[in-house]
Amino acid sequence: MDNLKIISDEYLNKIAELRVGEKKLYQSINYLKNPTNLLHKINNPQIEFVLFGIKEDIGIRANHGRPGAKETWNEVLKKLLNIQNNEFLNGSNILLQQLQETKDTLKVGITPVNKTMLRNNMILHNKDKNEIGYITSGCFSPILKRSIGIGYINNFTNKLDKIFVKVRGEFEEVIIDNIPFVKKNYKKGG
């Protein structure tokens, strides 16, 4: 829960596009004011949708695309929250939250030691098998010809320590890697 960024009233006022006589989604959507009540909010029978924004662009970078897509969440959020609230799209059944790096976590690149495929929601463990983080996204990189992932680890984790993910009941070693995985001016075959 330490990675959840609370959307502030100041932010909402900054992105608001008010129209007389029109109610926008941001005026009726449910916001998580305190991360500790997340499960209570999700279990509310009125909530039908939960939107989590995760700012990352690993797939694009891994396939030699232009980095920067992680910043599109802010633009999507701005457009989404300014849609008109009506009988067909009612913001009161939406819970919104976004995930980001905090002072207690560190965003890292992750690569497996063997041929393990990294996937989102995999939990990262230290050598004592204690949970130290998780993978937010993972995919196969055709450029690097291996699986790669991005995730968050606790800030007190030593990047040189052995780190593991659990795959089919077995702990598989992974390595903390540099982001981006591919150099900016990389040319295939050269």
From 65, 99, 133, give the residue that closes a domain: 99
From 66, 99, 132, give the residue that closes a domain: 99
Query: Is there a single domain that holds both residue 89 and residue 8?
Result: yes
171, part of any domain: yes
Q: Which residue has the higher pLDDT, 154 or 155?
A: 154
Bond preceding residue 112 cis, omega within 30 of 0: no
Note down the domain range covering 61.
Answer: 4-99
pLDDT tens per residue across span 38-91: 666 767 767 777 777 777 777 777 777 777 777 787 788 788 888 888 777 777
Q: Model-level pTM?
A: 0.49
Counted domains in the chain: 2
pLDDT tens per residue across span 1-17: 556 666 777 777 788 88
Q: Which residues contact 129 (CB under 8 A, 6 or more apart)?
A: 164, 171
Rounded Cα distance between 113 and 129, Å, is 17
Q: Where are the beta strands (DSSP E) in the chain?
A: 4-5, 30-31, 49-54, 94-99, 105-112, 123-125, 131-141, 146-154, 163-167, 170-177
Do 171 and 125 contact (CB within 8 A), yes or no? Answer: yes
Q: What is the DSSP string of 61-108?
A: HHTT--S-GGGHHHHHHHHHHTSBP-SSS-GGGEEEEEE---TTEEEE
Do 54 and 4 contact (CB within 8 A), yes or no? Answer: no
Query: Is there a single domain that holds both residue 13 and residue 47?
Result: yes
State the pLDDT at residue 86: 79
188, part of any domain: no
pLDDT tens per residue across span 166-185: 888 899 999 988 777 776 66
State the pLDDT at residue 95: 59
Query: Is there a single domain that holds both residue 110 and residue 91?
Result: no
Query: Is there a single domain that holds both residue 71 and residue 147?
Result: no
186, part of any domain: no
Band (149; pLDDT cuts 50, 70, 90): very high
State the pLDDT at residue 97: 54
